Amino acid sequence: MFLLIIILFCLLIILLDLYYRYSRGPRLINKLKGPKLMFFFGNVWEIQGDPVYIFYKQLEWWKKYGDLFRLVGFHYRAIFVHKPEDLETVLSSSRFNEKTYPYMFLHSWLREGLLTSNGEKWQQRRKMLTPAFHFNILKKFFNVIRDHTEDLMQYVGEEVDKDKTSLAPLISKQTLKVICETSMGINMREESKKPITNKYFNALPELTESVIYRANKLWLFTDPVYNLTTVAKKEKKALKDLHDFTTNVIKERRKLRENTNVEDFFEADEVYGRKTKLAMLDLLLDEENKGKIDEPGIREEVDTFMFEGHDTTATAICFMIMRIANEPKVQDLIYEELQSIFGDTFRTTTLEDLTQMKYLECCIKESLRIYPSVPFMARYITEECNIGGYTIPKNTFCNINVFAIHRNPKIFPDPEKFVPERFQPENIVKIHPYAYIPFSAGPRNCIGQKFAMMELKTVMSSLLWRYRLEPITKPEDLVFKSDLVLRTTHPLYVRFCRRNNN
């Protein structure tokens, strides 16, 4: 009897292997290049390892197999797309808007917010939230961004002449305060807010590490199996702290609205032909009153924008500070531009000033090219299609390695070199629009990209006008690891020195 069970089991494995190899989907996908296939398991074991191994393994595959290759294992199949023309096929069409892996592992945290939702729900939410990022609203946000930048400059002043300063703790707290006050309408400056804010910051890496851990282990894709792991228990604790923070934000805004004339929340400027609210959270709470969104829906959007609105921006600022510190000639050119704008006077930055910072803008774009805040994206192909001359079967995951795409030497010669001139008007027209995608592209592009650029310009101009950056962390010393945003194994350090004009 035992022998019969063994024979039947082996027969089942052989039949499954034949199905995984020779049914229509596998036959089509296996026409692509990729790591060598093993019996039954495909090549899924190639992706097993720690976050550093996974990050660099994908780059190794790209260099070995080219701009389009495949990864398969069991019923799972994925393609990795790097060529701009192929990226345009995927990202520009609403046919490929759907997200599943690895975004499904964020559902316990973000549920079905704008980042992770699909179909009609995503369309409805995108339409609902777009007015909150209209340029007329962003102009109002500028004053808040500038005020918090002034606070940041005070904190930087306390770091002057220290041997080194770790950037992430300094920058992240300020970007979180900015998103809370602009999009949520909540002031986070009070000392009483520190304990719950610190819990949020401590929980964030715990949650993101658990997502990456799970995303690269097929046997943990099912909830019952994953929930047995110690990682799942850590995630559960982190989720409580993250949700406590955002629940508190919503609660405070509700309380403020109850004690304030509702008309005070409207802005005089019209957006899309009607008066609108300054804070995104007010917009959501109004939609709740109309029955278009419920309490859980509000929280999933607040969770989404709290994370996306502060962490990606903080990451971009930290990497840019580190890199500019290592580029003295570039730093001098930025300072010369700021001198031409501010002259010999010391004054606060205006919106008009930001429009004149052409070279700084090129530097920001070049920094985002080398260090994209979101280094990896994915889509789910729900219908058979043609990509790069290959027929891609339906139910295939499409992985987009932004970090690799931005370092393609055919498009960006000497890709490791910091060359802001790549993004001057006469040069940027030569770059394929889908070869540079720090804010994604197409219908699901980043809704807050103009907000992020405004904050990046304001912070970097204020910082470089007052302080000189000296290098501690070197670009060649960076070791990256897989995460939801671009991370390194060690903190980014820099030394701040006060300029004579301050």
Write the DSSP assignment of 444-465 as a string of letters: GS-TTHHHHHHHHHHHHHHHHH
* pLDDT, mean of residues 307-324: 95
Residue 443 CA to residue 449 CA, distance in Å, equals 13
What pLDDT does residue 468 have? 96
Residue 498 CA to residue 210 CA, distance in Å, equals 40
Residue 422 CA to residue 427 CA, distance in Å, equals 6
Output the CA torsion sign for 35, 416, 168, 113. Answer: negative
Residue 374 CA to residue 498 CA, distance in Å, equals 32
Single-letter residue type at 11: L
What pLDDT does residue 235 have? 93
What confidence tier does 486 reach under pLDDT thresholds 50, 70, 90? very high
SS3 484: coil
Decide if pLDDT at 2 tops 50.
yes
What pLDDT does residue 21 have? 64
* pLDDT, mean of residues 409-426: 96
* pLDDT, mean of residues 462-483: 96
Q: Could you read off the pLDDT of 279-292 as tens digits, one per residue?
A: 788 889 888 888 89
Query: Which DSSP state fits 267?
Result: E
Strands, E, within 26-121: which ranges?
A: 68-73, 76-81
59-73, 132-146, 416-430, 433-447: segment of lowest average pLDDT: 132-146
Residue 7 CA to residue 2 CA, distance in Å, equals 9
What confidence tier does 273 reach under pLDDT thresholds 50, 70, 90? very low
What pLDDT does residue 268 have? 43
What confidence tier does 274 reach under pLDDT thresholds 50, 70, 90? very low
Q: Could you read off the pLDDT of 209-218 as tens digits, one per residue?
A: 999 988 888 7
SS3 32: coil
What pLDDT does residue 42 have? 63
Decide if pLDDT at 277 tops 60.
no
Contact between 91 and 433 under an 8 Å Cβ cutoff? The reply is: no
Contact between 320 and 456 under an 8 Å Cβ cutoff? The reply is: yes
Tokens of 299: 């929280």
Decide if pLDDT at 105 tops 70.
yes
Tokens of 74: 């069991």
Decide if pLDDT at 328 tops 90.
yes
Contact between 252 and 189 under an 8 Å Cβ cutoff? The reply is: no
Whole-number mean pLDDT of the chain?
88
Main-chain phi, psi angles of 421, to 5 degrees: -60, -15
Q: Could you read off the pLDDT of 337-362 as tens digits, one per residue?
A: 999 999 877 778 889 999 999 999 99
Tokens of 50: 């720690």
Decide if pLDDT at 407 tops 70.
yes
Strands, E, within 223-341: which ranges?
A: 266-271, 274-277
What pLDDT does residue 41 have? 63
Q: In Å, what is the CA distance from 70 to each residue of 30, 33, 357?
A: 7, 6, 43
What confidence tier does 494 reach under pLDDT thresholds 50, 70, 90? very high
* DSSP labels, 296-317: HHHHHHHHHHHHHHHHHHHHHH
SS3 413: coil
What pLDDT does residue 275 have? 46
Burial-class residue 162 by CB neighbours within 10 Å (0-12, 13-18, 19+).
Answer: exposed
What confidence tier does 263 reach under pLDDT thresholds 50, 70, 90? low
Decide if pLDDT at 467 tops 70.
yes
Go through 21-36 and write b for each residue having 16 or more CB atoms within 10 A of its CB, e for each that does not.
Answer: eeeebbebbbebebbe
Q: How far is CA 67 from the centre of its chain?
A: 22
What pLDDT does residue 400 have? 96
With a pLDDT cut of 70, the percent of the chain lying above it is 90
Residues near 263 by Cβ (< 8 Å), separated by ≥ 6?
A: none
What confidence tier does 101 reach under pLDDT thresholds 50, 70, 90? confident
What pLDDT does residue 49 have? 80
Tokens of 16: 């499954």
Residue 93 CA to residue 78 CA, distance in Å, equals 19
What pLDDT does residue 267 have? 53
Single-letter residue type at 290: K
Neighbours of 382 (CB within 10 A): 15
How do strand 467-471 and strand 493-498 relate by DSSP bridges? antiparallel
Query: Which DSSP state fits 103?
Result: G
Decide if pLDDT at 10 tops 80.
no
What pLDDT does residue 271 have? 43
Decide if pLDDT at 272 tops 50.
no
Query: Which DSSP state fits 401?
Result: E
Decide if pLDDT at 45 tops 60.
yes
With a pLDDT cut of 90, the percent of the chain lying above it is 63
Q: Could you read off the pLDDT of 357-399 as tens digits, one per residue?
A: 999 999 999 999 999 999 999 999 999 999 999 999 999 999 9
Domains in the chain and their CATH numbers? 2-498 (1.10.630.10)
